[in-house]
Structure 1
Amino acid sequence: MHPVLKGIRLVGFDLDGTLVDSVPDLTVAVDTVLSECNLPPQGENRVRDWVGNGSLMLVERALTRALGKTPQASLLESSHARFLEEYGQSPTARTCLYAGVRETLDALRERGYELVVITNKPHALIEPILSNFALSDHFGLCLGGDSLPQKKPDPAPLLYAARHFEVSPEACLMVGDSRHDIEAGRRAGFRTLAVPYGYNHGEPVSDSGPDAMVESLRELI
């Protein structure tokens, strides 16, 4: 067992960029919306750097880049609604689990850890992804970016999860790929663990100062 798990009872996981590589499906939805607006596609490399602050911000970043200016509120609203529709129709066609995820979640569940998904993705999109990979039963709670008034890097979702399972923050670990995960964990009083393979706006997640890093989640077990 990795030392970062010593004394830990609850493990919170980010979703996109930590458990699954969802950028291919997100890109298809983003570029479809842009095409319908007669705007140029942005492609996976750019979308990869835009993920992490929720779907509305993702669409806003794509529109801003394609337009060369901040989009009008009406365009952003309609484009975001269209994005959710398009992405919701096929959120797992190209999405895959990162190496080591399934065996790690299996092992942690067998050892009695409370497992939680804490993501900025809309809550309605979490279950289709987990179900596609037969992982729904691994998690006792799933929180999306719209589950509470606040989302990461605000610590509120993490603290909600700790209260839900009656676990003190000091006995909780937040696992993620971005500075938002590490900041939320630090502010909540959680221990933090980062993976370097996800999405962090083109910056090394190590710069955020996590308590520990692993190249693969397999290192936890």
Structure 2
Amino acid sequence: MSNNIEVTKQEPDLRHVDTILFDLDGTLINTIELIIASFLHTMETYYPGKYRREDVVSFIGPPLSETFMNLDPSKVDEMTKTYRAFNHEKHDELVKEYKGVLATIEQLHEHGYKMAIVTTKRRDTAVRGLKLMEMDKYFDVVITLDEVENYKPHPEPLERAMEALHSVPEKTLMIGDSRHDIIGGKNAGTLTAGVAWSIQGKEKLQSYHPDMMLETMPELLMYLGMPPLTEK
């Protein structure tokens, strides 16, 4: 007879958490089609016929400067301008909402949670996305590429957000859709949550060992010991 006992993984108890840091693109707002279209446009401009959709998915996460530096250091500024011009033109047309995200943010705000955005986007485009999705009023703290010397997964952006919110890592949760978010949270000493709707796939995100994986954003409320979303 086997003496092996099956161990069920326990989800972390988040009832002590008072601060939540969110990535933006691919986590709170669905900018995936916009980002992919922008990369494809840029790649077709400089490398005609060479890149397809599946090729540019791996570009999502780090700042544009890092991605384009790896392609051609002499054309970083040029490619960045091409990308941003297309991205800004198509922004409001291609950015979509994720079901349940806004309602979850509203409920967290009503219950007094401290919240911030920590993103590798520039401030102008980050704020534009938040306003488009009507979330800007819930985030007084928005840490973008413009405010830091080091970007995720370096802990600096998360530390700046926590400092602005007067929060501590032990009571903070970082939520995101890429390794930059999960490793960034670990480097800053926070709890971490991945989102199953990551364009890079749930399994890939799970390989970075977040403390938990959210199937939907409203699921977060349950882990925080809050009532589920109410119909309005």
Is the TM-score greater than 0.5? yes
Superposed displacement of residue 146, structure 1: 3.1
| Count of residue correspondences | 211
Query: What is the letter of the counterpart of residue 49 of structure 2?
Result: P
In the other structure, the counterpart of 1:91 is 91
Greater mean alpha carbon deviation, residues 134-143 or residues 3-12: 3-12
* Alignment check: 8 A CA contact 2:186 2:192 kept: yes
Equivalent residue number for residue 51 of structure 1? 60
Which residue does the alignment assign to 1:133?
133
1:144 aligns with 2:153: no
Which residue is equivalent to 2:43?
34
* Cross-structure match for 1:215: 215
Give the corresponding residue for 2:197. 197
Q: Structure 1 stretches (4+) deviating beyond 4 angstroms?
A: none
Length-normalised TM-score, structure 1: 0.86
Q: Structure 2: which amino acid aligns with 1:19? A: L
How far is 1:3 from its partner?
Answer: 5.7
Q: Conserved in 2, the CA contact under 8 Å of 1:191 and 1:211?
A: yes
Paired position in structure 1 for 2:22: 13
Q: 2:192 matched to 1:182?
A: no
Aligned-residue CA RMSD in angstroms?
2.2
TM-score normalized with structure 2 length: 0.82
After the TM superposition, which of the residue ranges 14-23 and 82-91 deviates more from structure 2? 82-91
After superposition, the Cα gap between the structure-2 partners of 1:199 and 1:120, relative to the gap in structure 1 and judged at 3 Å, is farther
Equivalent residue number for residue 229 of structure 2: none
Match of 1:76 in 2: 76
Amino acid of the structure 1 residue aligned with 2:81: A
Alpha-carbon spacing, 1:37–1:170, altered in 2? closer, same or farther (3 Å): same
Within 2, Cα distance between the matches of 1:38 and 1:151?
27
In the superposition, relative to structure 1, how do residues 14 and 157 fare at CA in structure 2: closer, same or farther (>3 Å)?
same
C-alpha distance in 1, partners of 2:42/2:57?
Answer: 17
| Residues 124 and 41 (structure 1), Cα distance of their counterparts in 2 relative to 1, 3 Å cut | farther
Based on CA coordinates, which of the two structures has the bigger radius of gyration?
2
- Give identity over the alignment, percent: 26
